[in-house]
Amino acid sequence: MRKADGSRRVDGNDVLQQVEPVGLIASLLRVRDDLVVLLRLGEARNDLVLDLGTVVELERQADIERACKISKFLAGRQLPTKYNK
């Protein structure tokens, strides 16, 4: 088994020196653009959840009001039963 040769090591500084600064800037700009898109998607999701919550609440309130109106209507009526003659 051979021992690893020290000259084959790759230093982080060597890698950064081989990459052109223009490429790094372009990559950072793409990352920034992706982060902006993700932020906007997150905001849109929050808006959608709030809108859906509002719709559900309005429908629930309408159901409650409808049930109250029906009970008031039925309370004012004498419903025929088999015991009423």
Q: At a CB cut-off of 8 Å and minimum separation 6, what does 84 contact?
A: 78
User: Could you tell me the pLDDT band of residue 11, with boundaries at 50, 70 and 90?
Assistant: low
pTM: 0.41
**DSSP letters of 39-50?**
HHHHHHHHHHHH
**Residue listed under structure tokens 């999701």:** 45
Rounded CA-CA distance 8/19 in Å is 19
User: pLDDT tens, 31-80?
Assistant: 888 888 999 999 999 888 888 888 999 999 999 999 999 888 888 777 66
CB-based contact 84:78 (threshold 8 Å): yes
